A = this chain, B = another copy of it.
Amino acid sequence: MQNRPGRSPRITINDVSTAAGVSPATVSRVLNGTAKVDSSLVDRVHDAVRKLGYRPNAAAQGLARGEWGTIGVLVPDLANPYFPDVLKAVSSVARAHGRRMMVMESDEDPAVEHDLVEDLMRCCDGVLLCSPRMPRAELAELLSREHPMVLFNRVVPGLTVPSISVDFHGGMTQVCGHLAQLGHRRAAYLSGPSASWANAERIRAFEGARAFGLEVNVIECGAGSQAGYDAVGALLESEVTAILTYNDLVALGALSRLNELGVSVPAQYSVVGFDDISLDRVAHSNLTTVSVPRDELGRRAGEILEQLLVNGYDADPLYLPMALHVRDTSGPPRR
C-alpha cells in the first residue's frame, strides 16, 4: 500500500481513470455498477483495470462508504474443535452478503476479550461474540456502545441483545435422564470454566436431576482433555458410577486416564461427553454424548448478524435443541 523501497507504487482509481481517459467517478460507477455508463467507456475502463492490475483499496472504500464490509468473530479458543464448523458457516454467510470475516481469539481470558471486542468494533460492521466469559456488567457496557453485536452461546438475562444459543440445559437433562434410567444413582460432573454461562446451564440441569433421585456431585475441572485426564484420580475414591463432563474433550481425557488405570468403561464407570465433537469427523468414535448442530448454529448466527446490520433485528434469544447419542461409554452401573 505504501511505497516502500522496491515495491511498486500503488495503483489508484486515478491511474485507471487517466489510462481510460475518463473521470474517476466513471471508473467507480463502472466497477460498482452504481449508474449507467456508456458501453464504450465501460470497455475502456475494464481494459485499463486489467492492464494496470488495479484493485480498489478496501480501506478507502470503507471510509467513503461508511461500512467496512467486514464482520468480526471472537472465539475463546480457536483450537477448540467446536469452532471450526461455526466459523465455516459464519464465513459462508458473510461472504454470501459480500462481507469478509475477521477472526480473533481471546484465549479464554475475559480481560483480553474486552479489548478484542473493542478492537473489532473499530474495524467491523458487526461483531459475533462466541461464548463470552466476560462479566455481565462489562458486557452491558460493551452493548451500550450501540455497535451491532450478536451473542453466541450465551444468553444474558435482562440484556436485550440478539442471542443464539444451544439448549444446554435440555441437553444435560437428557444425559441425566439417560443415566438415571440405566440405574445410576450417583454421578459426578466435571465442571468447565466457572465463568462460562454454558457451564452454569449444565450445572443447573445437573442439579435439577436430584429431583429424579440422582445424587449429584460437581467437581472443578476445566475445558481440555488434559483437565479431564487429571480429574479422574480423585473420582475413583468416590462412590459415583457415572461421569458427566463439560465437553467431549474432557470426557476423552478422562477415558484415556481410566483406560491407563485399567478401569473398564462402561462396566465400572459410565462416561458421557457433551457437544459431540468427536463423532462426525472421526467416524469410529464411540463416546456417548449430546450433540449440537454446529453449522446450523453458525449459519443462524451469521444471518442474525446480517439482518441486524441491514434491517435491525429484535427477537427473543434462540435456543437450538441438543440430541442425545447413546454409544459405547454408557451402560448400567456396576453393582
Q: Does A79 contact B (CB under 8 A)?
A: yes
A312 in contact (CB, < 8 A): yes
CA A108 – CA B88 in complex, angstroms? Answer: 13
- A119-150 at interface with B (beta carbon < 8 Å): 119, 121-123, 125, 145-146
- Chain B residue, CB-CB nearest to A67: B1
CB distance from A231 to the nearest CB of B (A): 13
Hey, which chain B residues are within 8 Å of A146, CB to CB?
7-8
Q: A8-B146, A66-B2, A119-B100 are in contact. Are A284 and B312 (CB under 8 A)?
A: no
Count, chain A residues at interface, CB 8 A:
61
CA distance A256 to B285 in the complex (A): 9
Q: Specify which chain B residues have a CB less than 8 angstroms from the CB of A319 in the assembled complex.
A: none
With a cutoff of 8 Å between Cβ atoms, the chain B residues found around residue A256 in the complex are: 283-284
Assuming the A-B contacts A101-B102, A119-B100, A259-B284, are A81 and B78 also in contact, with contact meaning beta carbons closer than 8 angstroms in the complex?
no
- A67-B1, A84-B81, A281-B249 as given contacts; A123 in contact with B103, CB under 8 Å: no
Contact B101 A100 (CB under 8 A): no
- Name the contact of A59 in the complex, choosing from B68, B91, B95, B249 (C-beta under 8 A): B68
User: In the docked arrangement, what's the CA distance between A101 and B121, Å?
Assistant: 14
Indicate whether A170 reaches chain B with its CB closer than 8 angstroms: no
Q: Known interface pairs A58-B123, A62-B59, A252-B284. Does A104 touch B91 (Cβ–Cβ under 8 Å)?
A: yes
* Copies of this chain, count: 2
Looking at the assembled complex, report how far the CB atom of A223 sits from the nearest CB atom of chain B, in whole angstroms.
12
A283 B1 Cβ-Cβ under 8 A:
no
In contact, B67 and A57 (Cβ under 8 angstroms): no
Interface string of A22-61 (1 = CB under 8 A from B): 0000000000000000000000000000000101111110
* A253 part of interface (Cβ distance < 8 Å): yes
Q: How far is the CB of A224 from chain B (nearest CB, A)?
A: 8
Q: Is A282's CB within 8 Å of the partner chain B?
A: yes
Which residues of A98-125 have CB atoms within 8 Å of chain B's CB atoms? 100-105, 118-119, 121-123, 125
The answer to whether B122 and A58 touch across the interface, beta carbons within 8 angstroms, is yes
The answer to whether A81 touches B225 (Cβ under 8 A) is: no
For the complex of A and B, 10 pairs with smallest distance between CB atoms: A2-B66, A58-B123, A256-B283, A59-B62, A78-B88, A256-B284, A58-B122, A59-B63, A103-B103, A1-B66
- What 12 new A-B contacts, CB under 8 Å, besides A53-B145, A58-B123, A100-B123? A1-B68, A59-B59, A59-B60, A79-B88, A80-B84, A100-B102, A101-B104, A252-B283, A252-B284, A253-B283, A256-B284, A282-B282
7 A-B pairs within 8 Å (CB atoms) are namely A1-B67, A56-B122, A70-B123, A77-B88, A100-B119, A100-B123, A229-B283
